[in-house]
Amino acid sequence: AQSVAQPEDQVNVAEGNPLTVKCTYSVSGNPYLFWYVQYPNRGLQFLLKYITGDNLVKGSYGFEAEFNKSQTSFHLKKPSALVSDSALYFCAVRDGLGGSYIPTFGRGTSLIVHP
Amino acid sequence: KAGVTQTPRYLIKTRGQQVTLSCSPISGHRSVSWYQQTPGQGLQFLFEYFSETQRNKGNFPGRFSGRQFSNSRSEMNVSTLELGDSALYLCASSLGTGGGNQPQHFGDGTRLSIL
């Protein structure tokens, strides 16, 4: 079975400060990990993914994520938050060694960046 | 390159009616997945189609059905609508089938309201 948890429903950060949105996962095999962002009345947009290789993955809009196998985490980060980063963020996992081909999404974390 | 297109964007129906939603994937994408998004349940996987065949199915009743055409366009049908079917229905396309390492590309969804 595979699962993903986003422990925070909401994250508040001041503009210009670094931000972190947390994600932990559980899979039987190797994880394929993804981050998506959703703006109001829009679909999800792909930000970045980890399949294999370097633990630090860089993605769109200045976001990056660090894969930590021992802690089974894939936290999303950005060095300097913008008000326009305010949105709903989803972490997703697929088992890369078969198992369920259905991706599992977290419940989402609402990021609010204050001016 | 055009993105994933979902029609209609908004739909209002009454209990007991049926509805058909449409999704046109990104050109060249053969996998189309459908999700239901609600505030209480988050993103829930409905089903995935690849090359006109249903590859994966989530835990939804038989009232929810879908199909995919030879041009990869997909439709989702919900019969005997219930109040609880009110949700944002998202379609996502990708190059490979669900078990691959490619990200999904989402449309902006169809907002279905049941009165």
pLDDT score, position A101: 66
Residue A114, CB-side half-sphere exposure with 13 Å CA sphere: 5
- Residue among B98, B105, B107 minimizing CB distance to A101: B98
CA distance A113 to A81: 7
Per DSSP, the three-state class of A84 is: helix
- Cβ contact (<8 Å) for A46 and B103? yes
- Residue among A41, A46, A90 minimizing CB distance to B43: A90
Output the average pLDDT for chain B: 92
CA distance B7 to B14: 19
Burial code of B32-57, b = ≥16 C-beta within 10 A, e = fewer? bbbbbbeeeeebebbbbbbeeeebbe
CA distance B69 to B50: 10
pLDDT score, position B97: 63
- Cβ contact (<8 Å) for B104 and A32? no
- Cβ contact (<8 Å) for A102 and B56? yes
**How distant is the Cα of B2 from the closest Cα of chain A, in angstroms?**
14
Most B-contacting residue of A34, A44, A60 (CB-CB within 10 A), to test interface: A44
Q: Strand B10-13 vs strand B110-114: parallel, antiparallel, or unpaired?
A: parallel
Nearest chain B alpha carbon to A99: B99
User: Of A11, A35, A41, which Cα lies nearest the Cα of B108?
Assistant: A41
pLDDT score, position B98: 54
pLDDT score, position B33: 94
Average pLDDT over residues B74-78: 98
Average pLDDT over residues B28-35: 92
Please confirm whether the linkage preceding A18 is cis (ω < 30° from 0): no
Per-residue pLDDT of chain A (115 residues; tens, 9 = 90+): 789 999 999 999 999 999 999 999 998 888 999 999 999 989 999 999 999 889 999 999 999 999 999 999 999 999 999 999 999 999 999 887 665 567 889 999 999 999 9
pLDDT score, position A4: 95
pLDDT score, position B95: 82
